[in-house]
Amino acid sequence: MRIMSEELKRARESSILKAIEYIKDGMVVGFGTGSTMAQAVNYIKKKIQENEFTIFFIPTSFQSRQILLENQLQVTSLYEHPEPDLMIDSFDQVDRNGDAIKGGGGAMMMEKVIAQASKKVIFIGDYMKLVDRLNIPIPIEILEDAYPHIKKTLDKMNLKLRLRESTGKMGPVISENGNIIGDVDAGLIEDPERLDRVLRSIAGVLETGIFPKLADKIIIGRIDQSIEEIDIQRKRL
């Protein structure tokens, strides 16, 4: 297991190195959440220092903000920069059409906000997360008092909702927005964009982890340090 972990780390590294080629001096960069982004910060910091770049970052979570600050990188917000030049983020699963599932870290609401706001979006990850069709449970952010209604509605749709349990306390995981996080098992997902709309149409579902073609480019890293770039016709508002 440790060997496989090291292999995947090398695969992620290759996607990270390719993605940071797109970071240029003076940019405002959205910074995603998760283990891949935590791995990326050292490479980003090195590039900034070597080139004496001035870069401002917009974090998508408390975790990403702390990682940036601990590495003495400059943090800003959408209030100061409502249209970031670039967003770099990871994913939990992605298909070749550019549809992704994110939210394993529970930060999908702000990740989706910054993705929509950014001029260019790049998702990075390892080859194990590239699939023909999305099939892992979909994170959703839930208004607590709406939970009974949401569960009943999903049961009628034959979709299984499981509240995400906290490991540090009794009860469900609470998002940074003060809401509860659940995961919806929809099996093989034939139409991710439609499912995203259906889930968000249920009152009390505040956001989903389905990111339907919200990136311009998907960068997949492989063990041999090679990469695959998938260009996407990004859906814009």
Asked about 70 being catalytic, the answer comes back as no
Residue found under tokens 């549809």: 99
Sign of the dihedral defined by the CA atoms of residues 94, 134, 212, 31, in that order: negative
The angle at the Cα of 42, spanning 66 to 89, to the nearest 5 degrees, equals: 70
Which pLDDT does position 4 carry in this prediction? 55
Above pLDDT 70, what percent of the chain? 98
CA atoms within 13 A on the CB side of 198: 15
All CATH 3.30.70.260 domain ranges of the chain, comma separated, are 138-209
Cβ neighbourhood burial of 79 (10 Å; 0-12, 13-18, 19+): exposed
Domain 138-209: which CATH number of 3.30.70.20, 3.30.750.24, 3.30.70.260, 3.40.50.620: 3.30.70.260
Question: What is the C-alpha to C-alpha distance for residues 102 and 33, in angstroms, rounded to an integer?
Answer: 10
Q: Which residue among the candidates 13, 21, 70, 111 is catalytic per the annotation? A: 111
pTM tops 0.85, yes or no: yes
Structure tokens at 12: 């992620």
pLDDT tens, residue by residue, 122-151: 999 999 999 999 999 999 999 999 999 999
Comma-separated ranges of CATH 3.40.50.1360 domains in the chain: 2-131+212-231
Tokens of 118: 């950014």
Pairwise CA distance, residues 8 & 212, whole Å: 25
Task: Answer whether CATH 3.40.50.1360 is correct for domain 2-131+212-231.
Answer: yes
